[in-house]
Amino acid sequence: MSYLDLLKLAAPEAIVTLTALVVLVIGLTTNRGTVVAGVSVAMLKPAAAGTAAVTRFCTLVGALGLIIAIEAIVLLPSRANLFHGMLVISPLNSLFQIVCLVLAFFTVLLASRETPNYGEYLAIVLLATIGLLLLVSSEELLMIFIGLELTGLSLYLMTAFDKTDIRSAEAGLKYFLFGSTASAFTLFGLSFIYGMAGTTSLAAIAEGLAAQSLSPLLFAGIVMTLVGFAFKIAAAPFHLWAPDAYQGGPVSSVASFVVLGKIVLVGFGPVHGSAEWHAMVAGWSPVLAVLAAFSILIGNLVALVQTNLRRLLAYSAVAHAGYTLLGIIAGGRAGFSATLFYTTIYAFTLIGAFGVVALVRRETGGDDLRNFAGLRARSPLLAGCMAIFMLSLAGLPPLAGFFGKFYLFSAAFRAGANHGLLWLVALALFGSLISLYYYLIVLKVIFQTQGAETPSLSSPAQNGLSKLTIVFAAAIVLFLGIAPEFLVARILAVLQ
C-alpha cells in the first residue's frame, strides 16, 4: 500500500490534525500582536476587538475542519483493515467517529470565548479529538493506548488551562496524577495480556484466550486494564478526578465506552465469566458488575449533598457510567447497542447542561445552585433547555434519557438465564429514583427560587453562538426521545 492510499484511509485524522495546526498558528501569531498592542493603554480597545475577531476566526476554522472531516468519513470505503487492526474502517467505527466529531463540533462552539490564548485552547480540543478518532477506529491494543494517552494529555492541559484560577491548576494537577497512575495500570495490564496471548490484536487475542483457561496472571492483566478504563469513564472508586475536571469528559466518554466494549466483548470474549447473582464465574463480567454497582451507589448518594451544580453533574456522571456498564455486562448485540445509544444521548445531554452552567458562571461569577436562582426570569430559553437536560438525565419521558435507560435496563434484565442480572437492574432503578430528587432540586431553584438582581442572559447579541448550540443540543435530546429508532436502527445495522 502506498502512502497516498494510507493518507486517503486516514483522511479524517489528517484533516483534524491539519486544522489543529492551522488554529495553533493563528492563535500564536495573533496573540503575539495582541500582547504588543496591550502595552499601550490607548490600544486596549482595538486589542480587545482584535481578540474577539481572532476568537471568531479560530472557531470558524475549527468548526469547518470538523465538518470536512465528517465528510471525509462519509467518503471512506465501507470496510478496510490497515496494519493488522491498527486502523480499521467499518460501519460501526465510522458511525461513532462521526458522533465524536459532532460532539467535538458542539464543544468548539460552546468553548468560543474572548481570551488571549483561545487559539491554543482550541488546538488542544482538536488534538483530543484526534485521540478519540484513533480510539474508535483501532482494534489493536497499542494504538488504543496511544489514542487514550493523546486524549488524556490534551484533557489535562484543558483542565489546567485557566492560569488565573487556582482551582483550575488544582484540578489539572489532580487529573494528571490520577490519569498517570491509571495509564500505568492499563499498560501493565496490557503487558500481561500480551504475554499470555502473544499478540496485541483484539481478534488474535480472542483466539489465543479461547485455547486456555483463566489463569491468575491473565485475570490480573484483565483487572488492571479495566481499572485504567474505569478511570477514563469516571467509574467509582476511580472517579476522584471527576468533580473538578469532568467538563471535558462527555465527549471522551463516548469513545471510551466504544473501545471498552470492543476490548471486552471481542478481545476478552472467551473469559467473559458471569455476574449473575446465583451463578457468578470469574472473568471480566463480575469485575465490571462491581464497578457498576459502586458507581451507581456512590455517584447518586454523593450527588445528593452537592450545592455546586458542576460537581453535582460530575457525581451524577459517575452514576451514569454505572448505568452504561450494564449494557456491556449484558453482552451481545442488544446489550452493546444499548450502551452505545445511551452513552451517545448522555454525551449530548451533558454537553448542553455544561454549556448552560458555563453561561451562568460567565454572567454571575459562580456555578453554585444559588447562582441559578431566578434563571427563568433572566433567560427563559436557557431555563427551558436546562429543564430538558435535567429531566432527560432523570430518565423521564418523552426525553432521550427515558428510552436510553429503558433500553439498557431491559437488555440487562433479559441477559443470562433466570434473570441473573436482576440485582444490578434493581440497583440501577434505585439509583434512578435517588437521582430524581437532586435533578428536581436544580429545577426548583431555577423556576421557583427568586434570585438576586443580575444582568439579563437573554440578549441575543451576547453569547448568541453558545445559546444556539445549547438549543440544538436540547432539540437532539428531545428528538431522540420521541424518535429513538433514528439512532437505534443505525447502531443495530452497523453491529450486524
Q: pLDDT of 117-131, one tens digit each?
A: 788 889 998 999 999
Expressed as residue numbers, the domain containing 424 is 272-496
Number of other CB atoms surrounding residue 426 within 10 Å: 12
Q: What is the mean pLDDT of residues 367-383?
A: 88
| Whole-number Å distance between alpha carbons of 386 and 393 | 11
Please report whether residue 64 resides in a domain: no
Please report whether residue 37 resides in a domain: no
Higher pLDDT, 182 or 165: 182
Please report whether residue 341 resides in a domain: yes
Q: Is 199 helix (H, G, I), strand (E, B) or coil?
A: coil
- Among residues 57, 66, 48, the alpha carbon closest in space to that of 119 is found at 57
Cell of 194: 500480551
Please report whether residue 395 resides in a domain: yes
Query: What does the pLDDT look like over 236-293, one tens digit per residue?
Result: 888 877 777 765 445 566 777 788 887 887 788 778 777 777 777 878 888 899 999 9
Q: What is the mean pLDDT of residues 336-355?
A: 91
Beta-bridge partner residues of 368: 308
Please report whether residue 241 resides in a domain: no
Please report whether residue 287 resides in a domain: yes
| Whole-number Å distance between alpha carbons of 380 and 111 | 22
Higher pLDDT, 434 or 260: 434
95 pLDDT higher than 70? yes
**Domain count along the chain:** 1
Please report whether residue 155 resides in a domain: no
108 pLDDT higher than 70? yes
At residue 170, the pLDDT reads 81
At residue 38, the pLDDT reads 46
18 pLDDT higher than 90? yes
| Whole-number Å distance between alpha carbons of 109 and 92 | 26
Query: Using CA atoms in the order 10, 100, 226, 168, what is the torsion angle rounded to 10 degrees?
Result: 110
Q: How confident is the model at residue 489 (pLDDT cuts 50, 70, 90)?
A: very high
Please report whether residue 245 resides in a domain: no
For 77: left if phi > 0, alpha if psi spans -120 to 50, otherwise beta; the answer is: beta
41 pLDDT higher than 50? no
- Among residues 398, 396, 429, 387, the alpha carbon closest in space to that of 412 is found at 429
At residue 44, the pLDDT reads 42
Query: What does the pLDDT look like over 393-423, one tens digit per residue?
Result: 999 988 999 999 999 999 999 887 777 788 9
